[in-house]
Structure 1
Amino acid sequence: MKRYLRSLLLVAGVAGLSALQAQAQDKPVLNSAPPGPPATTPRPVDPTPTPTTPAPEPTPATQEPIPAAPPTPDAPSGLNFPNRAATKAGGAEDQPPSKKFLYTNFGLGFASNGGLNQFNASLSPAIGFRLTNKLAVGPGISYAYSSYSLDNNARNAGFALNRQGDQSIKSSSVGLKAFAQYIVYKEFFVHAEYEVTNAQLIDFDTNNGYFKYNRTVTTPLAGIGYRSYLGEKAAVDIVALYNFDSSVLNSLYPGLVVRFSLLFNIGK
């Protein structure tokens, strides 16, 4: 009986201890720490971005003044204007783009003597070689077409060139030539050439009138020209030449010959 009572008391003591622990856990714990500062309200954020101050620009370095050029014959004051010595593209003062060029000219001429008119058209291609920036020489070939006719007064009077009643005589001639050019100032140059031609000319016989015959003709020509550039590779020349042997019956060309020439630079 005592053993049962002891067991019952032990069970009752364990149950009472569990109840006390549960009450200790349910009891609120008081905060014994000192009170802190009041909470602050957060400051609203400004949506406008704050402008940033640009970095200062670097101060440019001070440049030394350029000393004036010494006086020259072209600039006595020592001041040179930009491009003062420049000319048009390919001008005489410029370096030529090549040492060789093709030179083809087409010529027209007219002369009248003693009632006989002579019209002439010529074509003469050549190859030029520049010995310096201003001097060029070269060989070439020539072809000339000539037409001889009486003037209007003779035709109106019923005259003819010969007994056959021809109103005109036409001829063709082929030859060789050599030329030389020298640029005097910018686009202006002097031109000279000498031509040897197997020519068809006309002569006069008192019994038969005018007739055509073959003859070797030498023609010295000289004059002035003007060059208009079409870029670095091409140019157009207008040349006026005087024929120093311009007799109508013994010359291939009239006294004044005007030629239009094309120049094409080739090679380097």
Structure 2
Amino acid sequence: MKHLLLTALCSGFVLLAAPTVQAQRTDSTRTVKPQLNTAPPAAPVQVPQPQPQQPQPQQQVPVPAPTEQFPQPSKDSPSGLELPPQPKQAEAPKSKYFLYSNFGLGFSSNPYEGSQFSLSLAPAIGYRVTERLAVGPGLSYSFNNYSFPDYAVRQYGYPNSVQLHNIGVKGFAQFIVFREFFLHGEYEVTRAEQLYQDNMTGQLYTGKKTITTPLLGAGYRQQFGNRAAGDITVLYNFNDGLDDIYGQPVIRFSFLFDLR
């Protein structure tokens, strides 16, 4: 009985072990299944994150003092840059001789004698004694128109107006006082036509007479380039009497041109 029981146990053991052997044999001819990792999970890999860059403090660049590298601006060099001195061009010396001609106007009036209008032309040659003083001779021509008041025309039979012509010679002098301002003087000797009145009849007639006329005043000069200029002159007529041929005051516009 015991022998039979032992045999049965052995047979059952063999039957139970057979599938396991068969499975092992079959698995040896096939791809081995991956084995699960039974090890404890590893710590996660820490990926380094980029750190924000801290702003670097700016370095203070020392600024050189203006007197070290950059010169201070001056009235001669507003930009502060010193340029090499440029050679100055020598100004051309003015000519000693110049042509000086003028055009003059004069007017005077009073209710008893009427009015007088005069026009004059006087070309001259000037000579520069110094840079500020000039003198010279010239010619003079003047035209005069006399207009008489109404009572003289009715009472004495005067004409409404009379025209006279005069020609003469003169000398002038100029002295520059300050920049464009100058003093001007003239002395003229004129062979002039004059009005005369007959004491018996009261009638007017004309005659020729030599008249001297001193003139003195001041003027202003406007330069036009290196050789030409224009003057305006206001002169006082010292011959302000019966022999006057210009009226009061005498205003002249003159033109100056250097002769080379």
State the TM-score, normalizing by the size of structure 1: 0.60
- The answer to whether 1:175 aligns with 2:179 is no
Q: Is the 8 A contact 1:120 1:254 kept in 2?
A: yes
1:105-125: CA deviations, max 9, x gaps? 000000124232110000000
Contact preservation (8 Å) 2:97, 2:259: yes
- What are the Cα deviations for residues 164-184 of structure 1, in whole angstroms up to 9, with x where unaligned? x52111100000000000000
- In 2, are the aligned partners of 1:125 and 1:140 still within 8 Å (CA)? yes
**1:54-76 deviation line (CA, Å, top 9, x unaligned):** xxxxxxxxxxxxxxxxxxxxxxx
Q: CA deviation at 1:255?
A: 2.4
> Over alpha carbons, which structure has the higher Rg?
2
Please point out which of 106, 109, 119 is paired with 1:109: 106
CA distance change for structure 1 residues 184 and 158 in 2, over 3 Å: closer, same or farther? Answer: closer
Identity %: 46
Query: Is the contact between residue 169 and residue 212 of structure 1 (CA under 8 Å) also seen in structure 2?
Result: no
Q: How big is each residue's C-alpha offset from its partner over 1:29-63, in whole Å with a ceiling of 9 and x where there is no partner?
A: xxxxxxxxxxxxxxxxxxxxxxxxxxxxxxxxxxx
Q: 1:158 to 1:115 in 2, by over 3 A?
A: closer
Q: 1:162 to 1:146 in 2, by over 3 A?
A: farther
- Following the alignment from structure 2 to structure 1, what is the Cα–Cα distance between the partners of residues 102 and 154? 34
- 1:100 matched residue in structure 2: 97
C-alpha distance in 1, partners of 2:155/2:138? 34
Distance, in Å, in 2 between the alignment partners of 1:123 and 1:212 is 22
Cα distance change, pair 225–96 in 1 and its aligned pair in 2 (3 A): farther
Distance 2:155 2:234 in 1: 30
**Aligned equivalents of 1:140 and 1:208: distance in 2?**
38
Deviation at 1:194, TM superposition (A): 0.4
Runs in 1 of length 4+ with deviation above 3 angstroms? 160-163
Partner of 2:122: 124
CA distance in 1, matches of 2:115, 2:155: 11
Segments of 5+ residues of structure 2 without an aligned counterpart are 1-73, 77-90
Q: Per-residue deviation at 1:160?
A: 5.2
Shift of 1:211: 2.4
Where do residues 51-130 of structure 1 align in structure 2 (5 Å cutoff)?
97-113=94-110, 114-130=112-128
Aligned: 1:213 with 2:189: no
User: Is 1:233 matched up with 2:230?
Assistant: no
Equivalent residues of 1:162, 1:210 under 8 A apart: no
After superposition, give the CA deviation of every residue in 1:62-91 in whole Å (9 maximum; x if it has no partner). Answer: xxxxxxxxxxxxxxxxxx966xxxxxxxxx
Deviation at 1:253, TM superposition (A): 1.4
For residues 188-246 of structure 1, give each alpha carbon's deviation from its aligned partner in whole angstroms, at most 9, with x where no partner exists: 00000100000111133342333221110000000000000111111110000001111
Q: How does 1:1-268 map to 2 (within 5 A)?
A: 97-113=94-110, 114-150=112-148, 154-155=149-150, 159=153, 163=157, 166-206=159-199, 207-247=201-241, 249-267=242-260
The one-letter code of the counterpart of 2:160 is Q
In the alignment, the residues of structure 1 paired with residue 113 and residue 168 of structure 2 have an alpha-carbon distance, to the nearest angstrom, of 28
1:159 match: secondary structure: helix
One-letter amino acid matched to 2:229: A
Structure 1 alignment gaps of length 5 or more: 1-79, 83-93
- Give the 3 Å change call, closer, same or farther, for CA 126–137 of structure 1 in structure 2: same
Preserved CA contact (<8 Å) 2:117 2:146 = yes
What RMSD, in angstroms, separates the aligned Cα atoms of the two structures? 2.6
Structure 2 CA distance for partners of 1:115 and 1:121, relative to 1, 3 Å:
same
Tell me how many residue pairs correspond in the alignment: 175
Q: Conserved in 2, the CA contact under 8 Å of 1:180 and 1:191?
A: yes
Instruction: Check 1:115–1:96 CA distance in 2 against 1; reply closer, same or farther (3 A cut).
Output: farther
Structure 2 CA distance for aligned equivalents of residues 109 and 96 of structure 1: 36
SS in 1 for 2:162: strand
Query: Counterpart in 1 of 2:3?
Result: none
One-letter amino acid of the structure 1 residue matched with residue 168 of structure 2: G
